[in-house]
Amino acid sequence: VPETHLPTWNTPQKATFCAAHVPHIDMACAVLQPPSPVEEMFGRRPAEPSAGLAFLPATLDRLATSAADLRRFLARVHFAHETVPGMMPGALYHPTEAFDLAKARYEHVWMPLLASENSASPRKLAAPLDVQWMHHLHRLDPDAYRVDCERAFGRLVDPADPFLVAGDGAPSEDQAAESFARAAWNALAPEWPFDLEDALIDHRRRGGRLPRSRAISFDSSSCDTVGSATRQGGFLWQGLPRET
């Protein structure tokens, strides 16, 4: 924002504000205090600005990177049927066999696995696509996620990497993170296949029964994951490129 657009404070106030909040005057963005209804009715002068925010290039870069990562992740979920044989289009948006199995894999394996990781030196882990999807849906309701984590583990469990995935028949973006995740998964729950295609085959072979789980039980029922999935499907649709 050009300096001429900043509030008309006196020089000492402006200098103090800029020194405390922004490295360059051009990066200042004033947040104005809106006038009250009484002031609007009687024409009183609006209050002076009460705060200022600095939008640093590094912050904008991180935001842009995260937005691009989210879009790629949602697209990978949306088109999972193209890389996972036997999976129907849109199967992860509704309470289908794949959706219910993903939730079970998330609760019985992935969350206990993350909780067992050393929080002081966390590793990057590429979760199976369907499992990462469930983790994403659960965290869209922060209150429910916190309640479920504290009930099961006594603390909040952060994702290893919120958009890093594997096990869906497509190349992983981080081979080391996939290797770490596979090793940790197989050590904790060898009866549960890591790859989504193998998990679906195993689930059908078992007649819908789940493998045994040796890990701590985790329950994500505080969150409406089906509702979250439906809303995310619409969000992705709005963000997809359109033919002009």
The predicted pLDDT at position 64 comes to 87
The predicted pLDDT at position 240 comes to 62
- Whose CA is closest to 109, among 90, 127, 91, 87? 127
Q: What pTM was computed for the model?
A: 0.74
- Whose CA is closest to 82, among 234, 197, 178? 197
Work out the average pLDDT over 59-86.
90
Which residue type, as a one-letter code, is found at position 172? S
How crowded is residue 8: how many other Cβ atoms within 10 Å of its Cβ?
Answer: 9
- Whose CA is closest to 156, among 107, 106, 115, 104? 115
- Whose CA is closest to 101, among 199, 186, 194? 199
Beta strands in 125-230 (DSSP E): 127-128, 165-166
The predicted pLDDT at position 138 comes to 97
For residue 210 the two structure tokens come to 């789940």
The predicted pLDDT at position 194 comes to 98
Terminal CA-CA length for the chain = 34
Q: Does the structure show a pLDDT above 60 at 185?
A: yes
More confident residue, 109 or 46: 109
> What is the overall mean pLDDT for the chain?
80
- pLDDT tens digit sequence for 199-224: 999 999 999 999 987 777 799 999 99
- pLDDT tens digit sequence for 26-41: 333 333 344 444 444 4
